Amino acid sequence: MIQAELNEILSDPLESTRQLSREGRRVIGYCDNYVPEEFIHAMGMVPVRLMGSAEHITLADSHLPIFAGQLSRSIFDQGLRGKLGHLAGVVLSNSSDAIRTLFDLWERHIPGQWVGLVDVPAVLQGETNRRVFGSAMLRFIEQLEKFGGHSLDPAELRRSIAVYNENRRLLKKAASLLGSRKLNADTYLDAVLSGFLMPKERHNGLLLQLLENAGTGQAGPDLLPLHISGPLLVDRSFLPLLEQCGATMTSEDLGTGSRYFWDEVSETGDPVAQVIDRYWNKVPESYKTPMEPRWLHFSARLGTGNAKGAIFVVERYSDEDQYDYPIFRDRLQQRGIPSLQLDAEFVLESEQARTRVQTFVEIVKGRVS
């Protein structure tokens, strides 16, 4: 069964990536949606997403303050403890001050492991920033070529673009089935997260099987449809908690969800330029300006699942993510749609979160009944 395979992969994400290394694959860890996976893939390597851990941090606190956030601290802690030693390298980007700082810390404290940098600007507007963005991507290609020992082959890049575009189309199909409740929320989230931990060719095969077997879903009609927003949702215990409170996710615009896979790369023209163009024009993350394209994507996804409310899962200490919420909340209020912000550090399964979600679900049900 596909679900059993997804469970096995996600039960120990690092072991899944270790297996790739044992098979002789050069695995590159990354932690941001602005790292162009197509370039890594075309160089014959396997990009996998570093999603951190809820484990107690033992070493990274000597280098990063607590307000750097659980994601960056836990990833660096894993690196310092040797848990990422099977990776051929790590790629970081200018997604936040904490993640950008990891590049310098990694070079200094884990010198035996290659680390690359995609130093894209925070503001994705204007011709000057467009040139800076393109230059950062080209410098990253140079880093990859030096590390890989060969040049980026345009034919291989075109093949990688096709593989990744197929993956994006399959995930968009899964998102549409989520909205129509033909795919339950747990399976949908597992399908998305598993793709961060394996070659996209294998993930495409699993998605095809999953979509072929998608039925009526398991979400009962009495479950309140909700939209889930935020930079990342990797806690697989949250959706069962949501269901226990009488609700389910029927749409999302997560950074580890539709924001990641929504935009495709044009398969005509110069492949390097088209990849750069895709990452410049993609749905912007909450740590990037402008905000309006992010709202447009949020609004469009919200309508696909007939959501009656929205929950924003925001990483604690992340100012960038918290800037969006008041604006989105007010716009939702104008539409008569209530919302809830949940501060998170990976694990949302707590009595406080349960109480807040349960109260929110009861309020929304009272408004729509």
Q: What is the pLDDT of residue 322?
A: 83
pLDDT tens, N- to C-terminus, the chain (369 residues): 788 899 999 999 999 999 999 999 999 999 999 999 999 999 999 999 999 988 999 999 999 998 888 889 999 999 999 999 999 999 999 888 888 999 999 999 999 999 999 999 999 999 999 999 999 999 999 999 999 999 999 999 999 999 999 999 999 999 999 999 999 999 999 999 999 999 999 999 999 999 998 875 555 568 999 999 999 899 999 999 999 999 999 999 999 999 999 999 999 999 999 999 999 999 999 889 999 999 999 999 999 999 999 999 998 877 777 889 999 999 999 999 999 999 877 667 678 889 999 999 999 999 876
| Helices and strands per DSSP (H, E), number in the chain | 15, 8
Instruction: Give per-residue burial for 194-222: e unless 16+ CB within 10 Å, then b.
Output: bbbbbbbeebbebbeebbeebeebebeee
Amino acid at position 50, single letter: L
Q: What is the pLDDT of residue 347?
A: 66
Q: From residue 332, give the alpha-carbon distance in Å to each of 233, 299, 309, 337, 351.
A: 21, 9, 9, 5, 27
Compute the C-alpha angle 263/267/272, nearest 5°: 85
Q: What is the pLDDT of residue 316?
A: 82
Q: Which two tokens stand for residue 53?
A: 């851990």
In three-state secondary structure terms, 157 is helix
Hunting for tokens 């110069």 — which residue is that? Answer: 270
CA dist., res. 103 & res. 87, Å (int) = 15
Domain chopping of the chain, boundaries:
16-153
CATH number belonging to domain 16-153: 3.40.50.11890
pTM of structure: 0.96
Q: What is the pLDDT of residue 218?
A: 52
Q: What is the pLDDT of residue 173?
A: 98
Contact 43, 18 (CB under 8 A): no
* Strand ranges of the sheet holding 89-93, from the earlier edge strand across to the other edge: 46-49, 27-30, 89-93, 114-118
Hunting for tokens 């993510």 — which residue is that? Answer: 321
DSSP conformation class of 345: S
